[in-house]
C-alpha cells in the first residue's frame, strides 16, 4: 500500500552501514549522526533523482550579533520532503537550527542557513527509516550494522593495534612496511596479517585508489617490493610456473659493476639505494640504452622499428615503477602488444623457446663496455690536456 517497489522497501528496511555513522562530542556527551551529503545521496539512490523534492516552508532568524569584526547569527528552518511512490505522493517535514560566524555578515548568514537546512532535511528523511539515520535515536542502535574493525597483529600473534577502521588499518600497516628493515621480520608481519588484508577486501570493497585498485592489493604489492623474491614467492601470481631464465655469472658481474650516473644536486655519483639500511631494489635508468635497443630488430620476427620492452619478472614489482633499464629487449609493436595481452609473461617467452634475460644481459654488457670505453677516452683526453698545460707553464 505504500507505493514503494520491493527493491525500495528492501533498502528502506535494511540496516545503516556502520561506516557511514560519524561521531562528535556535544557538551560532554557523544553524538552519532550521518552527514548531510550522505542523506541526500541515499535519497537519490532509493527514490530516484526525479522522484523526490525538497521545499523550505518556513525560515526564521533567531538572532544576529556583531562583536568587533565578527558577525554571528542563527536560523530555524522547516523543510518539507515530497516523495513520489508509484501513484502516491508521500510528504514528510523536519525542523532544524543552524548557526554561523564570519567576518563577513553575508558569509555568516549563508553558513547558518545551510546548516539549518541540512539539519531539517536529515530529520525529515529520517522518518523513512534506518538508512536515513532513524536507528541512531535507538540507544542500542539495532538498526546499524556491526562495527567494521580491523587489527594489526605482531609477528608473535599479539595485537599491535586494534579497533581500526579500514583506512586506519591501511595506514598502520603501510608505516610498518616502511619502517621494518629486517626482511625476515617483515615476512613474518606479512604472514601474520594476511588474513586481515583479505578481510579488508570484504569489509570495504569500495576502498580503492583513483586507478580502481583495491588497497588490499596495494598492501600486497608494498610487501612484495620490500621482500626478496624467495620470501615473496607464495604471493607471486606466477608462483609454481617456470622460473625466470638465469643470467650467466660473468654477465651478472658486469651488471653489478655498472657505475651510477652523476648526481644532479651534489658532486659524485647518485646514491645507491640498494646499499642503504632501508634498501630498495636498484633500478637504473639509461635513455641512450633504450634508444639503442629500440633501434634493433624485433627479437621474434626481425621487424623494424622496435620497442624497448622491460622484462617485468626480472625484478620485484614496485609502485608505478618499471624494472631497471638493464632488463630490456627489442620487440616490434605487434609482439609487444601480444605480450601484454598474454597474461603470464614467463609462459609467453617459454612457449617461444627464448631466454630474454640472457639477451637483455648481453645487450647491457655491451652498454657497460661502451661506458667504460668512453670513460677511458675521457681520462686520456684529460691527461693530455694536463700535459699540454704543464708544458705551456
Instruction: Average pLDDT across each block of 10 residues of the chain; the chain has 393 residues. List them in order.
Output: 83 84 83 92 93 95 94 97 92 96 95 96 94 89 74 87 79 85 86 88 82 87 70 41 45 48 56 60 83 90 85 77 88 86 84 87 84 72 55 45
Question: Boundaries of CATH 3.30.390.80 in the chain?
Answer: 6-137
Q: What is the pLDDT of residue 264?
A: 57
Q: What is the pLDDT of residue 200?
A: 86
**Gyration radius from the chain CA atoms:** 32
Read off the C-alpha cell for 174.
603501510
Q: What is the pLDDT of residue 274?
A: 57
Distances (CA, A) of 282 to 216, 268, 330: 25, 18, 22
Q: What is the pLDDT of residue 390?
A: 42
Q: What is the pLDDT of residue 125?
A: 96
Cβ(219)–Cβ(174) below 8 Å: yes
Q: What is the pLDDT of residue 385?
A: 56
Read off φ and ψ for residue 150, nearest 5 degrees. Answer: -120, 165
Sign of CA dihedral 272, 273, 276, 280: negative
d(CA 71, CA 102): 6
Q: What is the pLDDT of residue 335?
A: 87
Cβ(127)–Cβ(90) below 8 Å: no
What is the value of pTM for the model shown?
A: 0.43
Looking at domain 6-137, its CATH superfamily turns out to be: DNA repair protein Rad52/59/22 (3.30.390.80)
Amino acid at each position: 500500500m505504500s507505493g514503494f517497489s520491493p527493491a525500495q522497501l528492501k533498502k528502506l528496511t535494511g540496516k545503516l552501514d556502520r561506516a557511514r555513522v560519524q561521531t562528535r562530542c556535544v557538551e560532554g556527551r557523544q553524538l552519532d549522526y550521518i552527514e548531510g551529503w550522505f542523506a541526500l545521496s541515499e535519497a537519490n539512490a532509493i527514490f530516484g533523482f526525479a522522484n523526490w523534492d525538497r521545499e523550505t516552508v518556513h525560515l526564521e532568524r533567531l538572532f544576529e550579533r556583531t562583536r568587533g569584526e565578527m558577525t554571528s547569527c542563527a536560523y530555524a528552518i522547516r523543510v518539507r520532503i515530497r516523495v513520489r511512490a508509484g501513484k502516491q505522493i508521500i510528504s514528510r517535514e523536519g525542523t532544524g537550527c543552524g548557526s554561523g560566524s564570519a567576518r563577513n555578515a553575508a558569509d555568516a548568514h549563508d553558513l547558518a542557513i545551510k546548516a539549518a537546512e541540512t539539519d531539517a532535511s536529515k530529520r525529515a528523511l529520517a522518518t523513512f527509516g534506518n538508512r536515513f539515520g532513524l536507528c541512531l535515536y535507538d540507544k542500542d542502535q539495532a538498526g546499524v550494522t556491526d562495527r567494521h574493525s580491523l587489527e594489526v597483529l605482531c609477528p608473535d600473534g599479539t595485537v599491535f593495534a586494534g579497533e581500526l577502521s579500514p583506512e586506519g588499518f591501511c595506514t598502520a600497516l603501510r608505516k610498518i612496511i616502511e619502517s621494518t628493515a629486517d626482511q625476515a621480520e617483515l615476512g613474518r608481519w606479512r604472514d601474520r596479517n594476511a588474513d586481515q588484508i583479505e578481510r579488508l577486501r570484504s569489509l570495504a570493497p569500495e576502498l580503492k585508489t583513483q586507478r580502481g585498485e583495491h588497497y588490499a592489493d596495494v598492501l600486497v604489492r608494498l610487501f612484495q617490493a620490500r621482500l626478496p623474491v624467495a620470501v615473496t614467492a607464495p604471493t607471486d601470481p606466477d608462483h609454481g610456473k617456470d622460473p625466470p631464465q638465469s643470467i650467466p655469472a660473468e654477465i651478472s658481474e658486469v651488471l653489478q659493476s655498472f657505475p651510477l650516473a652523476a648526481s644532479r644536486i651534489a658532486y659524485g655519483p647518485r646514491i645507491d639505494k640498494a646499499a642503504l639500511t632501508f634498501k630498495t631494489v636498484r633500478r637504473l635508468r639509461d635513455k641512450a640504452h633504450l634508444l639503442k635497443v629500440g633501434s634493433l630488430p624485433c627479437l621474434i620476427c626481425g621487424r623494424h622499428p622496435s620497442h624497448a620492452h622491460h622484462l617485468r619478472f626480472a625484478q620485484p614489482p614496485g609502485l608505478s615503477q618499471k624494472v631497471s633499464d638493464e632488463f630490456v629487449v627489442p620487440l616490434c609493436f605487434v609482439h609487444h602488444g601480444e605480450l601484454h595481452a598474454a597474461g603470464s609473461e614467463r609462459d609467453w617467452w617459454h612457449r617461444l623457446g627464448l631466454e630474454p634475460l640472457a639477451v637483455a644481459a648481453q645487450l647491457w654488457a655491451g652498454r657497460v663496455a661502451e661506458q667504460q670505453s668512453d670513460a677511458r677516452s675521457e681520462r686520456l683526453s684529460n691527461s693530455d690536456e694536463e700535459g699540454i698545460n704543464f708544458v705551456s707553464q
